[in-house]
Protein backbone atom coordinates (compact mmCIF):
# COMPACT_ATOMS: atom_id res chain seq x y z
CA UNK A 1 0.00 0.00 0.00
CA UNK A 2 1.30 3.47 -0.85
CA UNK A 3 2.59 5.94 1.73
CA UNK A 4 -0.35 8.21 0.96
CA UNK A 5 -2.88 5.47 1.70
CA UNK A 6 -1.08 4.57 4.93
CA UNK A 7 -1.10 8.23 5.99
CA UNK A 8 -4.85 8.63 5.42
CA UNK A 9 -5.44 5.55 7.56
CA UNK A 10 -3.13 6.68 10.36
CA UNK A 11 -4.49 10.26 10.31
CA UNK A 12 -8.08 9.95 9.06
CA UNK A 13 -9.10 13.40 10.31
CA UNK A 14 -6.45 15.36 8.42
CA UNK A 15 -7.70 18.34 6.41
CA UNK A 16 -7.48 16.53 3.07
CA UNK A 17 -9.57 13.58 4.26
CA UNK A 18 -12.19 15.84 5.80
CA UNK A 19 -12.35 17.77 2.53
CA UNK A 20 -12.85 14.52 0.60
CA UNK A 21 -15.71 13.63 2.94
CA UNK A 22 -17.27 17.10 2.44
CA UNK A 23 -16.74 17.69 6.13
CA UNK A 24 -13.97 20.26 6.16
CA UNK A 25 -16.14 22.63 8.21
CA UNK A 26 -17.43 19.91 10.54
CA UNK A 27 -17.40 20.54 14.28
CA UNK A 28 -15.88 18.11 16.76
CA UNK A 29 -18.45 17.02 19.34
CA UNK A 30 -17.27 16.93 22.95
CA UNK A 31 -17.24 13.69 24.97
CA UNK A 32 -19.71 15.29 27.41
CA UNK A 33 -22.34 15.53 24.66
CA UNK A 34 -25.16 12.99 25.33
CA UNK A 35 -25.12 12.03 21.64
CA UNK A 36 -21.42 11.09 21.79
CA UNK A 37 -21.96 9.01 24.92
CA UNK A 38 -24.94 7.27 23.32
CA UNK A 39 -23.15 6.63 20.01
CA UNK A 40 -20.04 5.32 21.80
CA UNK A 41 -22.13 2.57 23.41
CA UNK A 42 -23.40 1.53 19.97
CA UNK A 43 -19.83 1.57 18.65
CA UNK A 44 -18.81 -0.82 21.40
CA UNK A 45 -21.72 -3.15 20.57
CA UNK A 46 -20.70 -3.25 16.91
CA UNK A 47 -17.12 -4.17 17.76
CA UNK A 48 -14.98 -1.02 17.87
CA UNK A 49 -12.17 -1.65 20.38
CA UNK A 50 -11.55 1.99 21.30
CA UNK A 51 -15.17 3.17 21.32
CA UNK A 52 -14.48 5.58 24.19
CA UNK A 53 -11.95 7.55 22.13
CA UNK A 54 -13.87 7.48 18.84
CA UNK A 55 -14.35 11.00 17.46
CA UNK A 56 -17.72 12.30 16.28
CA UNK A 57 -17.88 15.38 14.09
CA UNK A 58 -21.08 17.27 13.21
CA UNK A 59 -21.59 18.23 9.57
CA UNK A 60 -24.38 19.68 7.42
CA UNK A 61 -23.95 16.95 4.81
CA UNK A 62 -26.85 14.56 4.19
CA UNK A 63 -25.13 11.24 4.87
CA UNK A 64 -22.90 9.83 7.57
CA UNK A 65 -19.28 8.97 6.84
CA UNK A 66 -16.65 6.91 8.64
CA UNK A 67 -12.90 7.56 8.56
CA UNK A 68 -10.23 5.30 10.03
CA UNK A 69 -9.86 1.68 11.10
CA UNK A 70 -10.27 -0.48 14.21
CA UNK A 71 -6.61 -0.21 15.19
CA UNK A 72 -5.89 3.50 15.22
CA UNK A 73 -7.62 6.85 15.45
CA UNK A 74 -11.05 6.93 13.80
CA UNK A 75 -13.87 9.38 13.26
CA UNK A 76 -17.52 9.39 12.26
CA UNK A 77 -19.08 12.34 10.45
CA UNK A 78 -22.59 12.83 11.84
CA UNK A 79 -25.26 14.48 9.63
CA UNK A 80 -26.95 17.47 11.27
CA UNK A 81 -30.37 15.89 10.66
CA UNK A 82 -29.38 12.81 12.68
CA UNK A 83 -27.99 14.90 15.53
CA UNK A 84 -31.13 17.06 15.60
CA UNK A 85 -33.34 13.97 15.60
CA UNK A 86 -31.50 12.52 18.59
CA UNK A 87 -32.05 15.68 20.63
CA UNK A 88 -35.76 15.81 19.66
CA UNK A 89 -38.67 13.95 21.21
CA UNK A 90 -40.70 11.35 19.30
CA UNK A 91 -43.50 13.81 18.49
CA UNK A 92 -41.11 16.39 17.02
CA UNK A 93 -39.35 13.69 14.99
CA UNK A 94 -42.65 12.61 13.47
CA UNK A 95 -43.85 16.15 12.71
CA UNK A 96 -40.54 17.21 11.15
CA UNK A 97 -40.00 13.90 9.29
CA UNK A 98 -36.79 13.25 11.22
CA UNK A 99 -35.24 9.78 11.71
CA UNK A 100 -36.68 7.67 14.53
CA UNK A 101 -34.48 6.46 17.38
CA UNK A 102 -34.22 3.04 15.69
CA UNK A 103 -33.03 4.71 12.46
CA UNK A 104 -30.50 6.78 14.41
CA UNK A 105 -29.15 3.56 15.95
CA UNK A 106 -28.89 1.96 12.51
CA UNK A 107 -27.00 4.84 10.89
CA UNK A 108 -24.53 5.09 13.78
CA UNK A 109 -24.05 1.30 13.84
CA UNK A 110 -23.59 1.19 10.05
CA UNK A 111 -20.78 3.75 10.09
CA UNK A 112 -19.20 2.06 13.13
CA UNK A 113 -19.30 -1.27 11.26
CA UNK A 114 -17.11 0.19 8.51
CA UNK A 115 -14.50 1.05 11.14
CA UNK A 116 -14.88 -2.19 13.12
CA UNK A 117 -14.35 -4.27 9.96
CA UNK A 118 -11.46 -2.09 8.69
CA UNK A 119 -13.15 -1.24 5.41
CA UNK A 120 -10.89 1.74 4.83
CA UNK A 121 -7.94 -0.63 4.33
CA UNK A 122 -9.93 -2.62 1.77
CA UNK A 123 -11.00 0.46 -0.17
CA UNK A 124 -7.48 1.93 -0.16
CA UNK A 125 -5.93 -1.37 -1.26
CA UNK A 126 -8.48 -1.86 -4.04
CA UNK A 127 -7.27 1.11 -6.11
CA UNK A 128 -3.65 0.06 -6.74
CA UNK A 129 -4.81 -3.52 -7.36
CA UNK A 130 -7.41 -2.38 -9.90
CA UNK A 131 -4.83 -0.05 -11.47
CA UNK A 132 -2.43 -2.96 -11.94
CA UNK A 133 -5.25 -5.08 -13.35
CA UNK A 134 -6.22 -2.33 -15.80
CA UNK A 135 -2.58 -1.94 -16.91
CA UNK A 136 -2.24 -5.68 -17.45
CA UNK A 137 -5.39 -5.66 -19.57
CA UNK A 138 -4.68 -2.63 -21.75
CA UNK A 139 -1.10 -3.78 -22.41
CA UNK A 140 -2.61 -6.69 -24.34
CA UNK A 141 -4.86 -4.50 -26.53
CA UNK A 142 -3.26 -2.93 -29.58
CA UNK A 143 -6.02 -0.44 -30.37
CA UNK A 144 -5.46 2.57 -28.09
CA UNK A 145 -9.14 3.57 -27.98
CA UNK A 146 -10.29 0.10 -27.04
CA UNK A 147 -7.49 -0.09 -24.51
CA UNK A 148 -8.57 3.21 -22.93
CA UNK A 149 -12.20 2.08 -22.70
CA UNK A 150 -11.20 -1.30 -21.25
CA UNK A 151 -8.91 0.35 -18.69
CA UNK A 152 -11.54 2.82 -17.52
CA UNK A 153 -14.20 0.11 -17.37
CA UNK A 154 -11.93 -2.09 -15.25
CA UNK A 155 -11.30 0.71 -12.75
CA UNK A 156 -14.99 1.65 -12.62
CA UNK A 157 -16.28 -1.91 -12.22
CA UNK A 158 -13.72 -2.71 -9.52
CA UNK A 159 -14.65 0.41 -7.58
CA UNK A 160 -18.39 -0.32 -7.84
CA UNK A 161 -18.01 -3.96 -6.80
CA UNK A 162 -15.72 -3.23 -3.85
CA UNK A 163 -17.91 -0.36 -2.67
CA UNK A 164 -21.07 -2.45 -2.91
CA UNK A 165 -19.55 -5.43 -1.09
CA UNK A 166 -18.30 -3.14 1.70
CA UNK A 167 -21.81 -1.74 2.17
CA UNK A 168 -23.32 -5.23 2.20
CA UNK A 169 -20.78 -6.34 4.78
CA UNK A 170 -21.49 -3.32 7.00
CA UNK A 171 -25.24 -4.00 6.85
CA UNK A 172 -24.65 -7.65 7.75
CA UNK A 173 -22.61 -6.66 10.82
CA UNK A 174 -25.29 -4.19 11.87
CA UNK A 175 -28.06 -6.77 11.49
CA UNK A 176 -26.08 -9.30 13.53
CA UNK A 177 -25.69 -6.70 16.29
CA UNK A 178 -29.47 -6.27 16.42
CA UNK A 179 -29.94 -2.98 14.58
CA UNK A 180 -31.61 -4.43 11.48
CA UNK A 181 -35.18 -3.16 12.16
CA UNK A 182 -33.93 0.43 12.20
CA UNK A 183 -32.35 -0.16 8.79
CA UNK A 184 -35.68 -1.31 7.36
CA UNK A 185 -37.35 1.84 8.70
CA UNK A 186 -34.53 3.99 7.34
CA UNK A 187 -34.72 2.62 3.80
CA UNK A 188 -38.54 2.73 3.73
CA UNK A 189 -38.49 6.40 4.73
CA UNK A 190 -35.83 7.04 2.07
CA UNK A 191 -38.11 5.48 -0.54
CA UNK A 192 -40.98 7.74 0.51
CA UNK A 193 -38.73 10.79 0.21
CA UNK A 194 -37.47 9.62 -3.19
CA UNK A 195 -41.06 9.28 -4.41
CA UNK A 196 -41.73 12.88 -3.36
CA UNK A 197 -38.60 14.03 -5.20
CA UNK A 198 -39.67 12.03 -8.28
CA UNK A 199 -43.02 13.80 -8.34
CA UNK A 200 -41.34 17.20 -8.22
CA UNK A 201 -38.40 16.59 -10.57
CA UNK A 202 -39.69 13.77 -12.83
CA UNK A 203 -36.22 12.26 -12.47
CA UNK A 204 -35.73 9.06 -14.52
CA UNK A 205 -33.17 7.95 -11.91
CA UNK A 206 -35.92 7.27 -9.37
CA UNK A 207 -38.34 4.36 -9.89
CA UNK A 208 -42.04 4.42 -9.06
CA UNK A 209 -41.33 2.44 -5.89
CA UNK A 210 -38.81 5.04 -4.73
CA UNK A 211 -35.57 3.23 -5.54
CA UNK A 212 -32.72 5.51 -6.62
CA UNK A 213 -30.96 3.86 -9.55
CA UNK A 214 -27.72 5.69 -8.83
CA UNK A 215 -27.16 3.47 -5.81
CA UNK A 216 -27.83 0.17 -7.59
CA UNK A 217 -24.90 -2.04 -8.50
CA UNK A 218 -24.64 -2.18 -12.28
CA UNK A 219 -23.74 -5.84 -12.07
CA UNK A 220 -26.99 -6.85 -10.35
**DSSP string of the chain, one letter each residue:** --HHHHHHHHSTTSHHHHHHTT-TT-EEPPTTSHHHHHHHHHHHHHT-TTGGG-EEEEESSSS-EEEE-TTS-EEEEEEHHHHHHHTS-HHHHHHTTPPPHHHHHHHHHHHHHHHHTTHHHHHHHHHHHHHHHHHHHHTT--SHHHHHHHHHHHHHHHHHHHHHHHHHHHHHHHHHTT-HHHHHHHHHHHHHHHHHHHHHH--TTB-TTS-BGGGS-TT-
More confident residue, 217 or 116: 116
Q: What is the pLDDT of residue 9?
A: 62
Write down the domain spans for the chain. Answer: 8-119, 121-201
Q: pLDDT digits over 17-52, tens only?
A: 777 777 778 888 999 999 999 999 999 999 998 887
How confident is the model over 116-142, as a mean pLDDT? 82
Give yes or no for residue 170 having a pLDDT over 50.
yes
pTM of full prediction above 0.85:
no
What is each CA distance from 188 to 65, 99, 102, 167, 194, in whole angstroms?
A: 20, 11, 13, 17, 10
Give yes or no for residue 220 having a pLDDT over 50.
no
Q: What is the pLDDT of residue 51?
A: 80
Poorest-pLDDT segment among 53-57, 94-98, 111-115, 206-210: 206-210
How confident is the model over 61-71, as a mean pLDDT? 83
More confident residue, 198 or 161: 161
Q: What is the dihedral of CA 106, 109, 110, 112, to 10 degrees?
A: 160
User: Does residue 210 come out as left (phi exceeding 0), alpha (psi in the -120 to 50 range) or beta?
Assistant: left
How confident is the model over 142-155, as a mean pLDDT? 85
Q: What is the pLDDT of residue 103?
A: 93
* Strand 65-68 versus strand 55-59 pairing type: unpaired
Amino acid sequence: MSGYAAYTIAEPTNVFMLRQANAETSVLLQNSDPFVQYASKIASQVGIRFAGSLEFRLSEQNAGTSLGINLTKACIIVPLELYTAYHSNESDRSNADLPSLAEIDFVIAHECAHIADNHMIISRAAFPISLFGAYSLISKISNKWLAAIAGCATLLLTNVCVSRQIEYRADAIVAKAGFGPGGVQFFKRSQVRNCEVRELTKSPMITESGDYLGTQCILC
